[in-house]
Amino acid sequence: MIEDLNPKQFKDYLDNNTAILVDVREQGEINICKIDGSISMPMSKGPEQYDELNPSDNVAIYCHHGMRSLQIAEFLESKGYKSLFNLQGGIDAWSREIDPLVDRY
C-alpha cells in the first residue's frame, strides 16, 4: 500500500518509524539539495536497482515535486513491496514547509 503524505506527515513518519529514505531524483538534482539520510536511486535506474531494497522494509520515497516518487512507489508496489510512503510535493514542499535550509530549484 502507498501512503501519500504531506510534508508534516512525512517528517512525523520518519521521526517515529524506521524507514529507508529513497531519493529518486537524478544526480544533478541531488547535488543541489537532499534530505539528510536519504539514499540515491534515480528514477532512470529504478527498474535496475529496486532489488537493492528489501520488500519487507518501510520505504519512504521523494523527488522534486512528488510525481516521479509516486511512479516509483507504484512500480515497487507492483513488485511486492508493501509499506511505501510518498512525499507529496517532493523536496520542494519539504523545503517550504519543513526545512528552509534545503535549497529550492
Q: Which domains does the chain have, with CATH numbers?
A: 2-97 (3.40.250.10)
Render pLDDT for 8-45 as a digit per residue (tens, 0 to 9): 999 999 999 999 999 999 999 999 999 999 999 999 88
H helix intervals, the chain: 7-16, 27-32, 46-49, 67-78, 90-97
DSSP-derived letter for residue 66 is S
pTM for this prediction: 0.95
Length of the chain: 105
Give catalytic residues, as residue numbers.
63
Render pLDDT for 29-85 as a digit per residue (tens, 0 to 9): 999 999 999 999 999 887 788 888 999 999 999 999 999 999 999 999 999 999 999
Provide CB contacts within 8 A for 10, sequence distance 6+: 60, 62, 85, 87, 88, 94
